Amino acid sequence: MAKQDYSLSPKIDQVGILDRVARITARSIKNESKMQGLMMALNMIDLTTLEGADTDEKVKQLCYKAVHLHDSIPNLPTTAAVCVYPNFVKTAVKALKGSNVKVASVATAFPSGHSSREIKLMDTKIAVDNGAHEVDMVISRGKFHSGEYNFVHDEIAAIKEACGKARLKVILETGELGTFDKVRRASDIAMDAGADFIKTSTGKIKPAATLPVTLVMLEAIKDHYYNTGRMVGMKPAGGISNSKLALQYLIMVKETLGGQWLTNEWFRFGASSLANDVLMQIAKQNSGNYQSKDYFSID
C-alpha cells in the first residue's frame, strides 16, 4: 500500500474558522432547549482521574459519581465513561458493573508519548486485558514535528490493532501542534490510521481544548466521512469548565456534522469539572435557584 503524502493536507482558513466561532458564541440558548442541551452534555462527559496520587478508593468514588451524579435531582443520565490509568481499570470495571458507563484507560506513555512502540503496545494490552472498553492514546508529537508522518500513522494503526474490540481515542495534544494546518494534518493521520475518536488534549498542558481547534477537527471528520463513509467521534478535553461553553460545543457539532453525532457514542467532553457546573445549571432550571457548590462532590 502506497504511503500517504500528509504534507498535502488541506490548508485552513484561519479567518473563516474564527468568524464561525464568533457567530456561535454570540448565541443564547434558553428554557427547554437549554435543559435538553444540559442533559445531553452531562451524558457525554468522561469523568477522569489521572494523577500520581490516585488510589483505588478515589477511583471507586469517581465511578459512584458517574452513575449517581446527584441523588436529589430526578431523571439524570449517567456520564459516558470513567477514564483512569491502566492499573486502575479492574477497579473501575468492578465498580461500574451493571451500569452503562464505559471504562476508558489512557495508554502509550501518557501524557508525553515518549517510549518505545513495544512498551506502548504492552501498555495498551494491559488496559484492554483488564477490561477497558476504550483506550485513549497519545501520538508521538516529536515524530510529527520531525515530519515523520507515516511513523505516526503506523504507530496509531498498531495501537488500534492491539485494542481489539475496544474503541481507540487518539489524543493529538493540539496545544503542542502550533497551527490549525498541523491540527488538520494530525487529524487526517489519526483517522486514516483507524482512530474511532480524535481528541484534542491530555489536559496536562495549556492551551487544551478550544472552540477554533475543535472546529478544525470537526471539519476534518466531516471530510473523512464524505470520503470514506466512516463516522469518527470527537472529544475536546481540558479547559471546558462551564455549561455555556459546553452548549456552544454542541451547537458547533450539530451545525458541522449533524444530529447523528450528538450522542455519547460519537461526541465526548473530557472535562470532569464540567459535570458539577452542568448539575448546578440543571438544578437552577428545575427550582429557579442555584444550589451551593458545597452540595456537589469534588472529584
Strand partners, 136: 106, 169
Catalytic residue, candidates 65, 120, 169, 235: 235
Which cell is 13 given? Answer: 482558513
User: Are 280 and 246 a contacting pair, CB within 8 Å?
Assistant: no
**How many whole angstroms separate alpha carbon 68 and alpha carbon 76?**
8
199 is catalytic: yes
How far apart (Å, rounded) are the C-alpha atoms in residues 297 and 65?
8
Please identify which of the residues 34, 46, 102, 136 carries the catalytic annotation: 136
Q: Where are the beta strands (DSSP E) in the chain?
A: 46-48, 81-84, 102-107, 134-138, 167-171, 197-199, 233-235
Check: CB of residue 132 under 8 Å from CB of residue 86.
yes
**Sign of the C-alpha dihedral computed for residues 133, 156, 86 and 200 taken in this order:** negative
d(CA 191, CA 4): 12
The strand pairing partners of 46, in sequence order, are 81
Q: Decide: 196 and 159 in contact? Cβ < 8 Å.
A: no
Residue 91: CA atoms inside 13 Å, Cβ hemisphere, count?
20
How far is C-alpha 286 from the geometric centre of its chain's CA atoms? Answer: 28
Of these residues, 182, 188, 199, 277, which one is catalytic?
199
Catalytic residues: 136, 199, 235
